Structure 1
Amino acid sequence: MRLEVSCQDRVGLAKDILEVLERYDINLMAIDASNQGFLFLQFAEVSFDTLSVLMPQIRKVESVKDVRTVSFMPSEQEHYALKTLLRTLPDSVFSIDSKSRIRIVNESALQTLSMQEHEVIDEPLNHWVQGFSFSRWLSEGEVLAQAARVMIGQREYLAEMLPIYLPDDSQSSILVGAVVSLKSPARVGKQFNALQNQTTGFDNVLAVSDNMQEVLKHAKRMAHLDAPLLITGETGTGKELMARACHDASLRREQPFIAINCAAVPESAAEEELFGYVAGGEIIKQGLFAEASGGTIFLDEIAELSVGAQVKLLRLLQDGHFRRIGGEKEVRVDVRVICATQNNLAELCQTGEFREDLYYRIHVLSFHMPALRERRVDVIPLTEMFLEHYSQQLSCPVRRISTACRDHLMTYAWPGNVRQLKNAIFRAVSMWDGSAELTVEQLKLPSYAEGFGYYDDEFEGSLDDAMKQYESGLLRRLYPAYPSTRQLARKLGVSHTAIANKLRDYKITKPKSQ
């Protein structure tokens, strides 16, 4: 039970209110005083009858204006606001007394130390943090804010120390301890870049492995050139991230960067989307190339571009001109073209699925993004980066990675590459169950064997059962497109009778006409 007492300040007011509480055998648990004319009282719950008598009695006390119930005390609000702030901070924070003993610690710090709260409270901070003497610093004649490089085990941190002074009655101050905040080198680097406002796209690309550092070196050189650039690599390796980084590091950085996935654009609409169209002499759609003029256009999955759009793109790359659908005027644009693909364009040229002359036009500059399994040194740093990012985004404490989880992350094949890792970490953080460690089970990664693909490690049954399951699924997918047994039999190269029997066995019925 909490009461807010509106009053005028006078000597003895609190004593008079306490006497009223004493008459009703109410033990005061806490009292807050405000310089704005309020007293706040906290005591154990009382019955409604008692409260209805108590409040008028308090109102009769001299200098009391009014009394009402409230949900919380100001000190409680401050306490829980501080607790919430400490819990959500990604940095490790300690409050120590004048003897350098830990008094308050947040969850990030406990995870950094791999300890429980009861194991560190009242213990000297130097038991775990090496490289700076907190007790010597707090015993100096004048204690000033400090910053120092410290170590916890083999990990390095930047420690920021701020002394805590309380005012006393003689207008001076008393040193009661300090607040210590630990930041990782990666976090310090991010803050420095943000402060200097010099962050470019390449600052967001993590590269610890030698092969990825080599890619970055070449990409940074190519970023300043205006020639077409082709980025190759498997799905999820970060091709668009690198394309955007190249744009951000170029002289075109202030101009538009427009990305389009060619596989997501219907063949009939590709030319219209890219180059626009005119009707009745009026421009109905500008087209993405016109919108990107002066900047960069990124064509992802360029192998999926329609034949008609390939012809127009070739012309644009040759002389910088194109013509909108239905238009008669030539349009000139100044735009850099960056393409990406996970396919082998040279092979597609041999089979006639991609124009060979266009291939040579877009393949002036190029680099290849390595698969995550080819840069395993980057797996744990990427995991830690995604953990920190999503923990901040979702207001969760940053968790440490369990030993078993580290081993699993390093040995997994990652067919979806960095995108798959990023999505797995987001899922694990968003479903946080309060545990201090990231575990293998929380990642929920599907079983995968390199060279064989995904497999179901919980499958029960025989090979014949598995074949029937696959066969049934295939027929259900194909039957709507080939809605007669003869058409479906011709597609699959088997007899009409065999298809009819299988459809009957699997209880697959003829699709309903639209």
Structure 2
Amino acid sequence: MEKLSLENLIAVKGNLERVLDNLSEGIMAHDLDRRIFAFNREAERITGFSRSEVIGKDCHEIMGGPFCGENCSFCNDRDAFGIFPKKYYVNLSARNGDVIRLEMTVTPMTNENGEVVGVLGSFRDITEILRLQIKVGELFSFSNIIGSDSRMLQVFQQIRDVAAFDYPVHVFGETGTGKELVAAAIHNESNRKPAPFVPINCGALPEGLIESELFGHVKGSFSGAIKDKKGRFELADGGTIFLDEVAELSKYMQVKLLRFLQESTFERVGGEKTLKVNVRIISATNKDLKQEVASGNFREDLYYRLNVVPVVLPPLRQRKTDIPLLVQHFLRQASERYGSPVKKISDQTISLMMDYAWPGNVRELQNAVQYSIVKCGGHIIRPEHLPMELKKDMDLRLSKSTQGLKLDLKLVKEALARSGGNKSKAAKAMGVGRATLYRFMESNPEVMDQENT
């Protein structure tokens, strides 16, 4: 039997399919019209779609949205579609309805003239890996949320668990804890991701406008209504609406919202036509809704409709081990935005941040980092570059600590000598925080002189 040349082997379509089917990664390729012409066995296993179902079809139609998620280069600027990220992560709705997490690499396919003629995507299912990372605490960020504290890992798992269902979710957390980030993460992890995520701050709009903002209005329904307008619920059709500060809604609007939750229908302001949309509701507040119900400020029946799945966000003071992670994240953000080197932060500064109560939570921490970047003239952020409220708080802590414990030069010198100069051990031996010891040493240069001799 005559042996086929390599060129002939490759030219045979059946052989090419066998090559692709023996790869351990899913492979999908489509032309410039998004028509799929290659789909290997692993791609079938991961997605649940058979090769015969997808070949020749638009990948958006088959997958119910962009296969590459928000990174689809065919959705926006077609002139730049030859520019692809090397690797990214995307959520995909499988054939059985499960939302799976993919690690995906996309590469433009070119002809002999260097012209892009199609797209090749390789991917693998990392859903189980992600679940295990959350379980064992080896995750440092999830869907744009930074954190590795056990409380945050529980939140990550809750997001993953609840994303698969359309039940209403209520997020409770202090100001600045990232309630909208959690709501967006639930949307992005769900099969509603291709549809809009529409946030609205219920406490930021005047009472006279909130109904129109939520449900829309018809032309002439009130002064200034010069044309028909869709409300946020219509804009979110198929997706998710996020009602932030929902406790600020008036009793009248609470009734309107309750009716929508019961029937998924509403009328625009001034309109007679009943409209129906398919949206998921995620609400949030920094108030205790149970207490608001007890005080008569919030309807009990609406509370039970919204609070089907509660998600509680811990304040930053309860997850202080996340502060260094968050600080580094904000420093990298600034570096990328302004094209400058990433600034470093001294151990003393991190210690001061770890000892601070952060009443404004992550938002306050981000503001403090941004302030310090501006204040710092060099490459290292030091305690003197922190905002005034942090320094005042540390001065007060130092004053109380030194008064209560009678911290003095002799005591500090002896503790440092016994610990071999290890400040953490010295602070622990004296029963004070590292930040307290650092501040005391800065106020007493002779201790620093002794340390350097």
TM-score between both structures, scaled by the size of structure 1: 0.48
Residue type of the alignment partner of 2:371 = R
Post-superposition shift, 1:423? 1.6
Post-superposition shift, 1:355? 1.0
Measured against aligned partners, the alpha-carbon deviations of 1:199-249 in whole angstroms (never above 9, x if no partner) come to: 999332222111111111111111121111100000000110011011111
* Contact 2:246–2:285 under 8 Å retained in 1: yes
Match runs of 1:181-330 below 5 Å: 192-193=87-88, 196=104, 202-279=142-219, 284-330=228-274
2:77 — aligned with what? Answer: none
Post-superposition shift, 1:456? 13
* Contact 2:216–2:268 under 8 Å retained in 1: yes
More helix by share: 2
DSSP-derived class of the 1:418 partner: helix
Post-superposition shift, 1:335? 0.4
Post-superposition shift, 1:196? 2.7
2:343 — aligned with what? Answer: 399
Instruction: Tell me, in whole angstroms, the C-alpha distance in 2 between the residues paired with 1:279 and 1:394.
Output: 45
Report the CA distance shift for 1:323/1:378 in structure 2 as closer, same or farther (over 3 A): same
1:446 — aligned with what? Answer: 389
Match runs of 1:320-399 below 5 Å: 320-399=264-343
DSSP-derived class of the 2:166 partner: coil
Report the CA distance shift for 1:239/1:191 in structure 2 as closer, same or farther (over 3 A): farther
* Contact 1:405–1:438 under 8 Å retained in 2: yes
Post-superposition shift, 1:269? 1.3
More strand by share: 1
Report the CA distance shift for 1:405/1:275 in structure 2 as closer, same or farther (over 3 A): same
Instruction: Tell me, in whole angstroms, the C-alpha distance in 1 between the residues paired with 2:191 and 2:333.
Output: 29
1:409 — aligned with what? Answer: 353
Report the CA distance shift for 1:401/1:448 in structure 2 as closer, same or farther (over 3 A): closer
Greater C-alpha radius of gyration: 1
Residue type of the alignment partner of 1:250 = S
Post-superposition shift, 1:284? 1.9
Residue type of the alignment partner of 2:160 = K
Instruction: Tell me, in whole angstroms, the C-alpha distance in 1 between the residues paired with 2:392 and 2:293.
Output: 31
Measured against aligned partners, the alpha-carbon deviations of 1:469-489 in whole angstroms (never above 9, x if no partner) come to: xxxxxxxxxxxxxxxxxxxxx
Instruction: Tell me, in whole angstroms, the C-alpha distance in 2 between the residues paired with 1:295 and 1:214.
Output: 25
Post-superposition shift, 1:431? 4.4
DSSP-derived class of the 2:326 partner: helix
Instruction: Tell me, in whole angstroms, the C-alpha distance in 1 between the residues paired with 2:241 and 2:368.
Output: 30
Instruction: Tell me, in whole angstroms, the C-alpha distance in 2 between the residues paired with 1:247 and 1:430.
Output: 35
Q: 1:437 aligns with which of 373, 380, 386?
A: 380
Instruction: Tell me, in whole angstroms, the C-alpha distance in 1 between the residues paired with 2:161 and 2:309.
Output: 10
Instruction: Tell me, in whole angstroms, the C-alpha distance in 2 between the residues paired with 1:429 and 1:284.
Output: 47
Residue type of the alignment partner of 2:281 = V
Post-superposition shift, 1:384? 0.8
Instruction: Tell me, in whole angstroms, the C-alpha distance in 2 between the residues paired with 1:408 and 1:448.
Output: 8
Q: CA RMSD in A?
A: 3.0
Measured against aligned partners, the alpha-carbon deviations of 1:353-372 in whole angstroms (never above 9, x if no partner) come to: 11111100001111100000
Instruction: Tell me, in whole angstroms, the C-alpha distance in 2 between the residues paired with 1:252 and 1:443.
Output: 42
Post-superposition shift, 1:429? 2.3
Match runs of 1:145-164 below 5 Å: none
* Contact 1:239–1:340 under 8 Å retained in 2: yes
DSSP-derived class of the 1:404 partner: helix
Instruction: Tell me, in whole angstroms, the C-alpha distance in 2 between the residues paired with 1:374 and 1:351.
Output: 28
* Contact 1:400–1:436 under 8 Å retained in 2: yes
* Contact 2:236–2:279 under 8 Å retained in 1: yes
Residue type of the alignment partner of 2:205 = V
Post-superposition shift, 1:428? 2.2
Report the CA distance shift for 1:456/1:208 in structure 2 as closer, same or farther (over 3 A): closer
Instruction: Tell me, in whole angstroms, the C-alpha distance in 1 between the residues paired with 2:285 and 2:353.
Output: 26
DSSP-derived class of the 2:228 partner: strand
Post-superposition shift, 1:283? 6.1
DSSP-derived class of the 2:203 partner: helix
Instruction: Tell me, in whole angstroms, the C-alpha distance in 2 between the residues paired with 1:221 and 1:449.
Output: 42
2:13 — aligned with what? Answer: none
Instruction: Tell me, in whole angstroms, the C-alpha distance in 2 between the residues paired with 1:270 and 1:284.
Output: 16
Residue type of the alignment partner of 2:255 = V
Post-superposition shift, 1:430? 3.8
Instruction: Tell me, in whole angstroms, the C-alpha distance in 2 between the residues paired with 1:224 and 1:409.
Output: 37
DSSP-derived class of the 1:391 partner: helix
Post-superposition shift, 1:397? 1.3
Post-superposition shift, 1:399? 1.9
* Contact 1:321–1:331 under 8 Å retained in 2: yes
* Contact 1:424–1:444 under 8 Å retained in 2: yes
Post-superposition shift, 1:306? 2.0
Report the CA distance shift for 1:191/1:392 in structure 2 as closer, same or farther (over 3 A): farther
Residue type of the alignment partner of 1:269 = L
DSSP-derived class of the 1:244 partner: helix
Equivalent pairs, count: 266
Structure 1 gap segments, 5+ residues each:
1-189, 458-514
Residue type of the alignment partner of 1:386 = F
TM-score between both structures, scaled by the size of structure 2: 0.55
Post-superposition shift, 1:448? 8.8
* Contact 1:391–1:429 under 8 Å retained in 2: no
Q: Percent identity?
A: 42
Report the CA distance shift for 1:283/1:359 in structure 2 as closer, same or farther (over 3 A): farther
